[in-house]
Structure 1
């Protein structure tokens, strides 16, 4: 089982990478995290090889493997879930995703495939073109 999440404020996969590199320094182990109020009820399934798929500009564009879930408390003393992520970000084929709040479960059969080896560093298509191609099922 996987999760899907909007990467709010990111214009590109590179933005997400940069933001995570800065934010990960806050944690003792240096691993990136996504902190959320809700704890996934399907935690055992997610921790059995699941990833978080990031939606950037209306398209699923990349994923990160989920390593564990840590309990953290904010300044407001409310319990939260820190989804601890592998630092490596794997680019995927793009897939359109409508806006939503929070995170959602994403079944393995509904996940976009990783880009083939050697294509991970290719320059991305312009967002509008990528969305149009995804909508008609070309990519």
Structure 2
């Protein structure tokens, strides 16, 4: 049996105005580019090929916690409202909950190494943990994480 491919690189980005992975799922259904969900950003990652070829994801920080990830399927250029070029990070419709982990605010996006990424809570995902936490509401997961119980 072949071993699963380990992603070479991920990305991490804050979400402003979103309070839970469930709310992000609703946004994904509405925000589309050529039929695909996306995340806007200013700059094209220099290592975009590594991310896509390695099966990378974008980890999402919601209310100061890494709460979920979305597999990245590609990148595309677009023109921002101010007329300057921008980048769309094309993502899967799948919003995969992760074990909540505190993250300080930062601007833009960052590269995120696989060894730094929290484990998935989705029991159907490869390498995921199944401790029942994913069944809890996002607000309760946030509170438990803030108390250091997750």
TM-score, structure 1 length as denominator? 0.86
Equivalent residue for 1:53? 59
Moved more, 61-70 or 40-49: 40-49
| Pairs aligned (count) | 132
Kindly report the root-mean-square deviation, in angstroms, between the aligned alpha carbons of the 2 structures: 1.7
Moved more, 117-126 or 42-51: 117-126
Equivalent residue for 1:62? 68
Structure 2: segments with no counterpart, 5+ residues = 1-8, 124-129
Rate the CA distance shift 1:113–1:126 in 2: closer, same or farther, 3 A.
closer
Partner SS for 1:68 = strand
Residue 102 of structure 2, aligned match among 96, 106, 109: 96
Residue 147 of structure 2, aligned match among 129, 132, 138: 132
Whole-angstrom distance in 2 between the partners of 1:116 and 1:20: 18
Whether the 8 Å contact between 2:13 and 2:109 is mirrored in structure 1 is yes
Equivalent residue for 2:48? 43
Whole-angstrom distance in 1 between the partners of 2:39 and 2:143: 27
